[in-house]
Amino acid sequence: MFLNLVSLLVGFLCLFLVALMLCSSKPTQKSNGYLIIILFVAGLQRFVNSIEVLGFINTTFSPLKIKMTLAFFIIPFYYLFFKRLIRKKNNLKKEVLHFILPSLFVAFDFIVTDYTISYYWYLIFSSTYFISILALLYELFKLKKLNMLEKRNYKTIRGWAILMVTITFFLVVYSNYFLLSDKNPKINLNTFYSFSSLLWLVALIYIFRNPAIIFGEHYLIKSIQKENQQDILIWSDKPLKEIESKDELLFQSIIETVETIVLNIQKLQNNTSFISITSLNSKTIAKELKLPKSHLDIIFKYYCYYSINEFSNLVKVSYALQLINEGYLNNYTVESLGEKCLFNSRFTFSKNFKKFIGVSVSSYTKEGQNEI
């Protein structure tokens, strides 16, 4: 009884999320359509099954109880969900190809009355897709160069991906168990929906705690607009890689002062009166902090996520973010903004803004003009 109520709650929440995502979506807002489909199917299956088991209805509406071959459609949806989540590329023409084989199986099942699919085909089919999903997860864990949006969202997406892989794993294991068992498997669909609902409940709680999963890029831009450039991840509190032998002697000579040097550089990068008239390069930083250039090179090599040139451009972009959030573009052009932030041209400014923030200046400012 308790698990059936949990399943009913999960079904309702999944359908509620689908409605929320559809109502909040905008033409310029990117969304993972496969997540919406997965939530809708998972929610509808559990909701309908629960009200049936709890005695509210007597008729069976669950598609899988009517045609088990429909299970062939489920795994490709999960795979394409992960593909869009991790690679962030949409290609509908290629994605449609994943549904040709499932369509053929289902068509035969509906047309040919005495047709019985070999369940070993499903075992091979689902296992191949799950291995491909694991390969995508590996890609996610190996990602290195991330822009600000991606860095801000990386841990959330990683946790979300792990949760969804776990759900997919149990889905694959159960569906194969059910199909490869005899005609009376010990675990039925109701048992699967009930126990898997506990896992889905964890996933739903995670979604509600991390709105970026629902609202995506739109939500992340809004969060950046509420913060300042001090929140940008630039520095590490420990060496980012092993100290090379050629740098060992110099590194040991400055190791006690690293924290102080980084703190002083941070003060410079957040000093708007200074960065509005001076580009932070190796020469200006060394001069301002009265440091040997060799010391500065070591600091950037082992404690900064960016090269000194990238750091210089990132500080300029951070300053531009601050000006945009203060309403600078209400009275001035993007070209003027680039010049004020000491970029040589609008092209260079736009290129670096997209590189570090993840969206163009126009996309960022458009999001700022609308509420979620």
Q: Look up residue 367 and give its two tokens.
A: 């999001």
The residue among 40, 35, 38 whose CA lies nearest residue 86 is 35
Q: Delineate the domains of the chain, giving CATH numbers in brackets.
A: 2-223 (1.20.1070), 230-368 (1.10.10.60)
Q: Please give the pLDDT value at position 106.
A: 79
Q: What is the DSSP string of 90-141?
A: --HHHHHGGGHHHHHHHHHHHH-TT----HHHHHHHHHHHHHHHHHHHHHHH
Residue 235 has φ and ψ, to the nearest 5°, of -110, 150
Q: What is the DSSP string of 48-76?
A: HHHHHHTTS--S---HHHH-GGGHHHHHH
Cα gap 59→328, rounded to integer Å: 62
36: number of CA atoms within 13 Å, CB side?
Answer: 15
Residue-by-residue pLDDT tens, the chain, 372 positions: 788 888 889 999 999 988 888 886 654 445 678 888 999 988 888 888 888 877 777 666 666 666 677 778 888 999 999 998 888 777 788 889 998 888 888 787 777 766 566 678 888 999 999 999 999 999 888 887 665 556 667 788 888 899 999 999 988 888 888 777 655 655 577 778 888 889 899 999 988 888 777 766 555 555 554 444 444 578 888 898 999 999 999 999 999 888 888 888 988 888 888 899 998 988 899 988 888 999 999 999 999 988 999 999 999 998 998 899 888 998 999 999 999 999 999 999 999 998 888 888 888 887 655 543
Q: Please give the pLDDT value at position 249.
A: 93
Amino acid at 57: I
The residue among 220, 236, 218 whose CA lies nearest residue 151 is 220
125: number of CA atoms within 13 Å, CB side?
Answer: 22
- C-alpha distances (whole Å) from 33 to each of 82, 88, 213, 315 are 11, 12, 12, 35
